[in-house]
Structure 1
Amino acid sequence: MNDAVNASPGGAGRSGFAGKIAVVTGAYGDIGAAVVEALAAHGATVYAADIRFTGASAPRSHGPGRIIPVALDVTDSAAVSSAFAHVAAASGPATLLVNAAGGPGRTRTPIDEVTDDAWHTVVRVNLDSAFHCAREAVRWMKKSTVGGCVVNISSGAGRTYSRTGVQAYAAAKAGVIGLTRQLAREVGPAGIRVNCVAPGLVDVTAIHDEITSLGADGLERHLSGVAMGRLGRAEDLVGPILFFLGTDSAYVTGQTISVDGGSTMLG
């Protein structure tokens, strides 16, 4: 057992990121970008990974840490392996990983009209990518002296169901939760923790058109099932993710927390 990971001095959560090496996938998206900026603001060196990055679109650091953009296709296992090896060679093994890459694909398609290609595309970007990155991260975390933390991003659709007819997305995000539990059980003795965050409907750029398509009445119906009465924002995810990554949660692993304003309440 790696005691260095499991010791948790009070209040050390966010201050403990100074000098840490982190990889955040899906870093072009609103949630990934918010996590990247928060980790850098607390002193981490963050490799911000996304297939959509160009020099102009890469995030910039606004804190004591560093943000290093990486153009990466997380569905390509060989590319993921090379990326983690590059991180280790340049900065040392990454001990923090946030799997924020993903997306629902086409919505409101009846199951009997979903093609094989559409299904597999969504599963690859949501579930396979989390597997690829977690596998490589764990390989390097096991070589470090401090263990590590993995945070996966699932969805409320993975805990219950989706209201927008995205069968592959719901199945893949449920798979992310199962992967989280299984990995937590397996790698705990190596001082590696694996947890998961399941957002509700979050008003981010990638699905803004989908939210708009609900119309005023549809949005009102959705919000009637949200205890806090509003849509989520990208910044709502940052605190729970940093909690799981930090030392304040040093005895927490294999857990999924819903960040959805109370639209899902599981005992």
Structure 2
Amino acid sequence: MAGHSKWANIKHRKARQDAARGRLWSKIARAIIVAAKQGGPDPAANVQLRYAIEDAKAANMPKDTIERNIKKGAGETGGDNYEHIRYEGYGAGGVAFIVDCLTDNRNRTAPELRTIFGKHGGSLGVTGSVAYLFEPKGVVRIAAESCTEEQVMEAAIDAGAEDVREEDGSWIVHTPPDALFQVRQALENAGLRVESAGLDMIPLNTVAVRGAEARKVLNLVEALEEHDDVQKVHANFEIPDDEMAQLAAES
């Protein structure tokens, strides 16, 4: 498993503090606004909006808050004008980072991210500096205890999935980006419990880091994810399981 994926799983299991939940709601609200603006307010016809709404429900965002942000994106009420910007850079040990942001002021976001990278032993790069080290994939996560690998394989591969693997108590299904929705639908139609689904940037190769470098990399991940404009962080680091668990316990 790529290190960032495992670290995200560990952090997901930790109890969220109120401040963290508020930050999460803010990020999801932006995603809803942008999705509704780009694809319209009907989730049945707008896949990105549908996924953003599902993220909101999973985070226990109130229904009226979800609907209010959809209306903002659709132009029915006033709202900020967010744009998607992707930043690229390197962390300690040569670990590659891709940072997806939704911002209403790119002149603010770029220098703030540059400062974060610098504080944690990294550097913000130019567009294209690390993108070639990743490939876009659809990723569907299924609760492993709810089904067998054979059940997942049968439904997923027939619908266009590329592979199925077990990771940290879940079945992970990778798909081409344009097949994500149909694969997810096929899995749900087969009665399987989908925990999450979305687009991700999967590293073609990983960079092994340990000790102080590993801590710097994880600190950079957390600092980036805490920034209000950051929606998602992708990184290609790999940390041994025992050391990852120890670092998680210390955080």
Specify the TM-score bucket, using the shorter chain as the normaliser. under 0.3
Which structure has the highest strand share of the two? 2
TM-score calculated relative to the size of structure 2? 0.25
TM-score calculated relative to the size of structure 1? 0.24
Which structure has the highest helix share of the two? 2
